[in-house]
Amino acid sequence: MPVTPFPRPQSMTSTTGTGPAADAPLRVVLDPATPAQGYRLQTSPEGTTIAHSDAAGLRYALATLDQLRADREFSTTSYDISDHPDFPVRGFMLDVSRDRVPTRRTLARWVDVLVLARINTLELYTEHTYAFSGEQEVWQDASPLTAQDLQWLDALCASRGVDLVCNQNTLGHMERFLKHPRHAQRAENEDGFEMREVHRPPSTLEPTPENAAFVQGLLEDVTPNFRTKRLNVGADEPFELGTGKSAGRAEEVGLGTVYWDYVTSVLQPWLDRGYAVEFWADVFGDHPELMDKVPAGAVPVVWQYDSPQLLQEVVDAASPGQVQEWESLGVDVTALRDGFRDRAKLLLDAGIPFWVAPGASNWNSLLGRWDNAVGNMLDAAEVGLAHSAQGYLNTSWGDHGHWDPPSVAFGPVLFGGAVSWSLEGNRDVDVAAVLSDALLLDPHGVVGDVLVRAGKVCAQLGAPLLNASPLCLVLREPDQLKPWAVPAPAALADVQAELLSCVQDLRSAEPAAADGDVVVREVTWALQLAEFAVRVFQARGQDGAFDAVRAPRLLTELEGLLEEHRACWALRSRPGGLPESLAAFAPLRHALLRAVG
């Protein structure tokens, strides 16, 4: 049976019976009519011909040819493949600022994943995890990336056909700077702010020329390590904007103007240098008065991390109290179910070019949320293609810390790369098989199967939540769980059985990839932690208190799981963020200790 390459091409026909001999010639033709990054690959008894118009197309054609040649039937099959990408820019953004900073070996492994998925852009999202000059107090405990690290990675990416792009936040999510006395006065609210009935430390810069100059200094420090003339300045989720020092000006000219004047002052100097500058469109996309103010070269990136199906399930299952909470935060519950179409509504109406940014759904989850990731990425591709978006930036965030091991995101990143290359060709691609056969080299197909099955347990819990799995929440905030985040006992029992089955199956896995043993170990740990979370749920009473009989055993098991967390962390990540990751288990430990008495 003829082999099907990954990602599946736009068009492929094959004829069995004859094919190129081992010594048949390879002919490469430069054809300007071939689409950018595309190729036509033809094999026959006379040999192989590749037509392409640029270096990327030749690279992808040769990668496809390598996959075909790996098949034992290659010499008896003739192929005719025409292929090109749906999205010119197919990116992956990895959050390296929420405690987990990857080692060089892990970064190199990510490049392998991206190349397999034909992803041509890598962004490392940083807040405080670059060793900025003069900012040692900010990054000294984080095991930050250095200039040498970025230059090494930039060279590796360039050699593999991937653009490494600087992604540095410049407005919100600046709490790691603002907590230090030297920078405290830069905050919009120096005393912090209230969000969802929780007091939070200051995270947003006051939108002043002085602060714009400050972040320009950060950008000037880090950008020389990147050869690509593209930059992401973030500017998302400035939660406190207009509520503190800028409140008067926001009242006078409007919040949108306050926001955009500051963001423009940050991105314009880079546009003037010939850079393309990305920025997150969550604030911008809510202000119609800004739609005609996007300068040439600036790229609004529309993000949405829940699929239309999950959004609909959550809205339909929501209690009046949950709806009231959303509305108090300014959420349009009716529009919520529309996914990317709602997020991009004003930009669509105004005809503003934008990129789409779905998510790998690994964060806040332990094992990922596979069904949501697939639906979210398909939604992004559909909306992006319908409106000629030039970029598709899949994201792996680390909200509240990366308890999920890196390999949990491998499958969603492969899927995102495939559907951003060819949506119609890859809607139903067998990612489990690609993981096992092409990435992890598992002859029995176990690891890929387990990764996908484990990612599906979140949906099987029957407690639909936005942006999180109940199994993660019960470990992180056991005293703050909402009633709708608690799965039914029967669902917990079914998920527990599936998790234990996955652990058992991994014992027979034999992946030959260089990190195969690491994947098996870290996924086994994540499965065991998730199964532990099921038992934490089962030990909670209706009032949220823990059973005094079960609590001592859970405490003992927690210590063993944390010891394994330390060991697995060291296999993939730098040491700086580990204490913070371990500290995030403190609320659970305290709740269990209260039950013990």
Give the pLDDT confidence of 208-224 residue by residue, as tens digits.
Answer: 999 999 999 999 999 99
Q: Which amino acid is at 52?
A: H
pLDDT at position 195 is: 85
Residue 369 is predicted with a pLDDT of 98
pLDDT for 358-405, tens place per residue? 999 999 999 999 999 999 999 999 999 999 999 999 999 999 999 999
The pLDDT value recorded for residue 78 is 96
> What percent of the chain stands above pLDDT 90?
93
The predicted pLDDT at position 491 comes to 98
pLDDT at residue 330 is higher than 70: no
- Given a cut of 80, is residue 328 above it in pLDDT? no
How many other CB atoms are there within 10 angstroms of residue 208's CB atom? 15
The answer on pLDDT for 302 being more than 90 is yes
pLDDT at 97: 98
Structural domains in the chain plus CATH codes: 11-83 (3.30.379.10), 89-304+339-429 (3.20.20.80), 447-596 (no CATH)
Residue 335 above 80 pLDDT?
A: no
Q: Give the chain's mean pLDDT.
A: 96
Residue 26, H or E segment: strand 26-30
**Residues 103, 107, 113, 118: what is their CA dihedral angle, to the nearest 10 degrees?**
170
462: left (phi over 0), alpha (psi -120 to 50) or beta: left
Q: Is the pLDDT of residue 105 over 80?
A: yes
Q: Measuring CA to CA, how many Å separate 420 from each of 58, 279, 406, 535, 544?
A: 19, 20, 21, 39, 43
List the end-to-end C-alpha distance of the chain, in Å, as a whole number: 65
User: Could you report the per-residue pLDDT of 409-465, keeping only the tens digit for each?
Assistant: 999 999 999 999 999 999 999 999 999 999 999 999 999 999 999 999 999 999 999
Section 330-341 average pLDDT: 81
Q: How confident is the model at residue 321 (pLDDT cuts 50, 70, 90)?
A: confident
Mean local confidence (pLDDT), 475-481: 94
The number of CA neighbours under 13 Å toward the Cβ of 381 is 26
pLDDT of res. 329: 64
User: How high is the pLDDT of residue 325?
Assistant: 76
